[in-house]
Amino acid sequence: MIKCIASDMDGTLLNSYQQVSQENKEAILKAQSQGVEVVIASGRSYQEIRFVLDEAGIHCPAICVNGAEVRTKEGEILSAVPIEKHVAKKAAEKLMEKDIYFEVYTNKGTYSLDPDKAVEILVDIVVSANPEVDPEDVVKRAGERTRHGLVHQVESYDLLFNDETHQIYKLFGFAMDAERREAAEDELKELTELAVSSSGHNNLEITNRNAQKGIALETFVKSKGIHISETMAMGDSFNDISMLERAGRAVAMGNADYEIKSLCDVITATNDGHGVAKAILEVL
């Protein structure tokens, strides 16, 4: 029996227009009404996750920033796994050496040196998950990241690295040039304290090696008295692998890469075909 359902957001819970469909919402509410714990597991910050869920009228716990932070449905921090400051600085240096744009995710929100790039990085994630979508439509929606204060501009990341009140959760790199991006990834993997994954064709997600969705999910369900074997996880991208490998029932979206599908027990419909709802109703 499934007692917990964990869902990725981009390319999974969200459709091509970055919204939760009515079908997905109703399935989540039905699961919750039957006592099933529903948790969102995303590479996004809590602020960005909450913005989308509030718009949809969904209230549930969240595994944020790929597992670097876990929050209750009321927004209280249950756990946090930041990157040590000296390691974060080394990673930032490697990205800058390769001329790769990156954002810094912290306990106080997401920061960028270039607001236009902040839009571009989300467009990459959405278009990677939804190749048929018009990028111009995505740009309009992605602009909400800055319009609603979900991404803050700073003159230098040193202001974050040198501020004791800021915990560094993730460096989110973006580069269209595959050669530079892959070279940076190889160097970042030399820092054994880090985990390096991806949620789009052109990005790099850099977190503490213990800040992974699967690790966070396992810790979360244990705190609820639920065994990981009683959990269903749904995802479409490489930053979902750690939870898909651990969950008792692993569900790949119809729009997921072949490699992701090959890891899973079930393949559901696409994110535009309300795959999350279908997977939930099947186990209910």
Q: What digits encode the pLDDT tens for the residues 143-195?
A: 666 666 678 889 999 999 999 999 999 999 988 888 999 999 999 999 999 99
Domain boundary among 160, 183, 208: 208
- Shared-domain flag, residues 196 and 122: yes
CATH, residue 97:
3.30.1240.10
Catalytic residue status for 10? no
E-assigned strands of 125-211?
151-153, 168-174, 194-197, 203-208
The answer to whether residues 90 and 187 belong to one domain is yes
pLDDT digits (tens, 9 = 90+) for 86-143: 999 999 999 999 999 999 999 999 999 987 777 777 777 777 777 777 777 666 666 6
- Of the residues 8, 10, 124, 236, only one is catalytic, namely 8
- Measured distance CA(85)–CA(87) in Å, rounded: 5
Q: Which residue has the tokens 């309300």?
A: 274
User: Is there a contact between 182 and 100 (Cβ–Cβ < 8 Å)?
Assistant: no
Distance of CA 22 to the CA centre of its chain: 21
Count up the domains in the chain and report the number.
Answer: 2
Distances (CA, A) of 264 to 31, 197, 257: 21, 18, 11
- Exposure string of 74-98, with b = 16+ CB inside 10 Å and e = fewer, is eeeeeebbbbebebbbbbbebbeeb
Mean pLDDT of the chain: 92
Percent of the chain with pLDDT over 70: 95
User: Domain limits at 262?
Assistant: 4-81+212-283
Q: How much is the average pLDDT of 59-70?
A: 97
pLDDT digits (tens, 9 = 90+) for 227-244: 999 999 999 999 999 999
Q: In this predicted model, which residue has the larger pLDDT, 221 or 200?
A: 221
Looking up residue 250, the CATH number of its domain turns out to be 3.40.50.1000
Using alpha carbons, select from 195, 143, 189, 187 the residue that is nearest to residue 169: 195
Instruction: Tell me if the pTM is above 0.75.
Output: yes
Per-residue pLDDT reduced to its tens digit, 20-47: 999 999 999 999 999 999 999 999 999 9
Contact (Cβ atoms closer than 8 angstroms) between residue 272 and residue 23: no
Looking at the structure, tell me whether residues 94 and 191 fall in a common domain: yes
CA within 13 Å, CB half, 44:
28
